[in-house]
Amino acid sequence: MNTTPSTTGTIRAVFLDVDGTYADYGVVPDGHVRAVRAAREAGHRVLLCTGRPVSMLPDSILAAGFDGLVASAGAYVEVAGTVLVDRRFPAELAARTVAALDAHDAVYVLEAQEALHVPPAALERLRAILDAHFRQAPECPVGSSAILDAVHPTAKRAAVPFAKVSVFDSPVAMECLVRDIGGGIAVVANSVADEGRHAGELYQRGISKADGVAAVIAHLGIARENTVAVGDGANDLEMIAYAGVGIAIEGSSPEVLAVADRTAARPRQEGLVAAFAELGLY
């Protein structure tokens, strides 16, 4: 992987994880907004690359302006309004997933680009979990409402065309749920509201943020060595390893730090400001 800035004048594609990287508890630092705008003004392409679906991205996160986004951890890709990838759970896998979650009375959200779907009986438990999580925010929390405003209590959930599942509370370990669901499913740690609970994100095995990055740069005609990826979570591993320059946020897990070329400070320290400057993005 390349660890030095590209030649002056080279257009780069920059991919930013959201939670813990671009934003903290849903709050985007002003310096990060300015850094994104300056990089785009310099001609670079800046995209969000998040585990969140489109329906979980409020205007407060999108306000800086982006050239596109990779959502649902690689299952959805959009560039300048053109949808390049939109992968949903196949019907049979969706039915097995919902059945296993309901059998254990788990609190979960089916994440579609259009909306978030939750079992009606679990809505109040979900609200309590999210409110408790976002109350830890150092500033006025906005993340809880951003998620809950997109939630729909849905009775016929197996019929919903969803891309990923966030499990917020389960009476059994995530590995048990994966075994119950059977083939085609994988799990990664949840970046929101996993304190002391069995929680995680269920996704189709074989899909990652790196796939989304590859789809974007193929569409834009940008070489892999001219990509920058920044993240902090388990679902950022493949993206950081794939990019020409992979950046891990300080305090990330050892696995994430091990595949990164360099580190950046956390959102509260506006780490992207220095990282963009060091890479010559503006």
Domain boundary among 158, 187, 204: 204
Residue 4 falls inside a structural domain = no
* Whether residue 82 is found in the same domain as residue 153: no
Residue 260 within a domain: yes
53 in any annotated domain? yes
**Sequence-separated (6 or more) residues with CB below 8 Å from residue 248:** 230, 231, 232, 236, 240, 256, 257, 259, 260, 262, 263, 264
Q: Same structural domain for residues 115 and 179?
A: yes
**Domain end among 183, 204, 225:** 204
Domain shared by 142 and 109, yes or no:
yes
Q: Are strands 164-170 and 107-111 parallel, antiparallel or unpaired?
A: antiparallel
Could you tell me how many residues make up the chain? 282
For residue 1, tell me if it sits in a domain: no
Residue 207: other Cβ atoms inside 10 A: 19
- Residue 196 confidence (pLDDT): 56
Q: Which residues pair with 109 in a beta bridge?
A: 166
Residue 80, in any domain of the structure: yes
Pair (134, 117) in one structural domain: yes
Q: Is residue 5 part of a domain?
A: no
Output the tens digit of pLDDT for each of the chain's 282 residues: 433 444 457 999 999 999 999 999 888 999 999 999 999 999 999 999 999 999 999 999 999 999 999 999 999 999 999 999 999 999 999 999 999 999 999 999 999 999 999 999 999 999 888 888 777 776 655 557 777 888 999 999 988 999 999 999 999 999 999 999 998 999 987 765 555 568 899 999 999 999 999 999 999 999 999 999 999 999 999 999 999 999 999 999 999 999 999 999 999 999 999 999 999 999
The pLDDT score that the predictor gives to residue 130 is 85
Write the CATH number for 53: 3.40.50.1000
Same domain? For 135 and 213 the reply is no
Shared-domain flag, residues 69 and 174: no
* Residue 73 · residue 201 · CB < 8 Å: yes
Specify if 158 maps to a domain. Answer: yes
For residue 219, give Cα distances in angstroms to 4, 64, 79, 224: 24, 22, 8, 12
Same domain, 127 and 65: no
Nearest to 134 by CA among 60, 32, 27: 27
Q: Are 170 and 104 members of one domain?
A: yes
| Residues 65, 149 within the same domain | no
**pLDDT attached to residue 191:** 61
Q: 106: domain CATH number?
A: 3.30.1240.10
**Pair 81, 214 in one domain:** yes
Q: Which long-range contacts (CB under 8 A, 24 or more apart) does 271-279 make?
A: 272/16, 272/21, 272/22, 272/31, 272/32, 272/35, 272/36, 272/230, 273/31, 273/32, 273/34, 273/35, 275/230, 275/247, 276/14, 276/35, 276/38, 276/39, 278/5, 279/5, 279/12, 279/228, 279/245
- Report how many domains make up the chain: 2
Domain annotation covers residue 3: no
Q: Are residues 174 and 138 in the same domain?
A: yes
Amino acid symbol at 69: L
Q: Which residue has the tokens 């891990």?
A: 248
- Domain residues for 268? 13-87+208-278
Residues 111 and 180 in one domain: yes
Last residue of a domain, one of 204, 233, 266: 204
- Write down the pTM of the prediction: 0.91
